[in-house]
Amino acid sequence: MDQSKQFCASTRLNAKGQIILPGFVNTHTHIAMAAFRGASEDVQDRLNRYIFPMERELVRPELVYNASLYCLAEMLLSGTTTFADMYYFEDEVAQATQKAGLRAILGETVLGQPAPDAPRPYDGLVYAQHFIAKWKGNDSIVPAIAPHAPYTVDTENLRKAEQLAIELDVPLMMHVAEMDHEHTRFSQSHGSVINYLEAIGLLNERLIAAHMLYVDDADIQKARDHGARVAHAPASNAKSGRPICPAWRMMKAGIKLGIATDGPLSGNGMDIPGVLSLFPKLQKTREGKREILTAKEALRTATLGGAEVLGLEEQIGSLEPGKRADFILIDGDDFNMQPIYDIYATLVYALKPHNIQDVYVNGRPLVEDRKIQSFDAEETKIQMKNIRDTCGAFIAAINSR
């Protein structure tokens, strides 16, 4: 029997000539950092010399809200329907996300030094508790806790964050094995960063580990055995001059892996098509094998794979009965798209953000004919110019140091 006859649709879409896909899932971002995109590029130790001071001085609730909404416009117009974010004033990120209509996992960052919304080290834990209590049970936003990294949060507070995650039953997101000094330090003390996380009880199914660059095959097995999930950010990693993440090896081992842009300061472009194309190219380069990581496998990481990483695979990530209507419509007839012989190859290697015409989350049109419907996107451009005016002098001063 024709199942469509059982239902009476309130809206019918004519998608003739278009490609329909599940919305993209971006598994690691800091969207409010759109405020600083392009500042302090091409320098050493950018995190301590530039990013932390810039954030302490400039990050305020209003900036986080406005920069987040601005960034969400770019993400929506490039087909992202779900993302994971960790930053400060995460409540402002949540409010911007709710306004824009995307689905998200949002974690307050915990840091072992004063942070924009935490005057004392580790006050982020207190903020996180309130934040989680406020958003727990929300239909589209899953609150989380996000200790910054093993090298910026001490063992005692990592354990506290984990305890909180268990008690409140939320995911824990963290940068893992991203830095060379982190790798050196924990290799000396525990053999590897992964061994350290295992020893202190953080390596488990709750962990969404971003980056995972400095890991060997034994670490990969261990992460797999403990059920840790990985957010892989190929463009951001490539710009940092660090080793290429062994993402294909992790997938082969059975680790759940999704792709990510990282924040706009690290990854610059917030569109998934941009990183989706780079992902298999870098893995083929790393392994010296053209045939590995097929376009079909790569596309899966940007949709269902990402949903699995975020624990949302029963709701989103594929188009099937019973799941939420999070989908995008793509113009398959544009100059960069034809001819199509292998739809997966086209979508992974040729797709550009401007090919994405409509974006739906939970059946609600957020983008129609490349125009954002859920908020005034032009107004966010004005807000971003104001942010640039406010932050410009401070950024110029640290750039000239």
Report the residue number whose CB is nearest to Zn ion: 262
Q: By rule CB under 5 A, what string of x and - marks binding of each residue 359-378 to Zn ion?
A: --------------------
Task: Give min distance, CB of 171 to Zn ion, in A.
Answer: 15
| 49/354 with CB nearer Zn ion | 49
- CA proximity to 104, closest of 117, 127, 129, 87: 87
Q: How many CA atoms lie within 13 A of 68 on its CB side?
A: 31
Place of tokens 């993302």: 83
| 21/71 with CB nearer Zn ion | 71
Cβ atoms of 92 and 61 closer than 8 Å: yes
| 106/359 with CB nearer Zn ion | 106
Task: Give min distance, CB of 321 to Zn ion, in A.
Answer: 35
Place of tokens 């903020």: 127
Helix (H, G, I), strand (E, B), or coil: what is residue 291?
A: coil
Structure tokens at 267: 């990854």
| 198/262 with CB nearer Zn ion | 262
Dmax over CA atoms of the chain, in Å, equals 71
Task: Give min distance, CB of 86 to Zn ion, in A.
Answer: 7
* Residues near Zn ion (CB under 5 A), total: 1
Task: Give min distance, CB of 210 to Zn ion, in A.
Answer: 5
Contacts of residue 63, Cβ cutoff 8 Å, sequence gap at least 6: 32, 35, 387, 390, 391
| 27/78 with CB nearer Zn ion | 27
Strands 371-372 and 364-368: antiparallel
Looking at residues 108 to 137 of the shown chain, list those that interact with Zn ion (rule: CB under 5 A).
none
**Rounded to the nearest 5°, which phi and psi values hold at 365?**
-75, 115
Instruction: Count H helices and E strands in the chain, helices first.
Output: 16, 13
| 55/262 with CB nearer Zn ion | 262
| 262/308 with CB nearer Zn ion | 262
Looking at residues 231 to 270 of the shown chain, list those that interact with Zn ion (rule: CB under 5 A).
262
Helix (H) or strand (E) holding 249: helix 247-253
Task: Give min distance, CB of 106 to Zn ion, in A.
Answer: 14
| 108/262 with CB nearer Zn ion | 262
Rounded Cα distance, 29 and 52, in Å: 16
Cβ atoms of 71 and 80 closer than 8 Å: no
- CA proximity to 59, closest of 98, 81, 92, 26: 92
Task: Give min distance, CB of 311 to Zn ion, in A.
Answer: 19
Task: Give min distance, CB of 379 to Zn ion, in A.
Answer: 28
Helix (H) or strand (E) holding 94: helix 90-100
Name the site residues for Zn ion (rule: CB under 5 A): 262
